[in-house]
Structure 1
Amino acid sequence: MIIKILGSGCKKCIALGENAKTAAAAAGIDAEFVKVTDIAEIAAAGVMHTPALMVDGKLVSSGRVLSPEDIGKLL
């Protein structure tokens, strides 16, 4: 599983990444985490608001920091 965190690297982006790692560990999922900070790549993914979360190429959240529990439901 590939989990991408899209954003500029701000505090919210970092929090979303940490919550995603926590959720994957709690679910026992072996995931590769990728940070995407390139604005062109973020826009190409259809993201209008950061931070955003993609799971295996599918945009599942944009513009908010999900809790580990919410991310777990999406995994």
Structure 2
Amino acid sequence: MAKKQKYPHLVGSKWTAKQKTFGWRHFVVTNRQNLGQLVFAELRAACDDSVRFWVNAKGLKRRSLWQPGWQTLQEQQGQIDLSP
């Protein structure tokens, strides 16, 4: 039986940085790499294809640094008004 893959839906997932990272907040995972027990994700800025960097995929679970999906600043701060 094959070993279960860590982070199976990593490639293509979208992330919002809590602080600007290389001048941007919204990123897409474009690649993954397994190095022993570690899994790394290559993030690309949604608005600038030239901004790319690798992070440990485990770090994306730190809510103090990253949120899944693309969030507005108001959503990040919990200040969004949903009334009609």
Q: Which has the higher contact order (CA 8 A, sep 6+)?
A: 1
Larger-Rg structure: 2
TM superposition score normalised by structure 1: 0.31
Instruction: Say which structure is richer in helix.
Output: 1
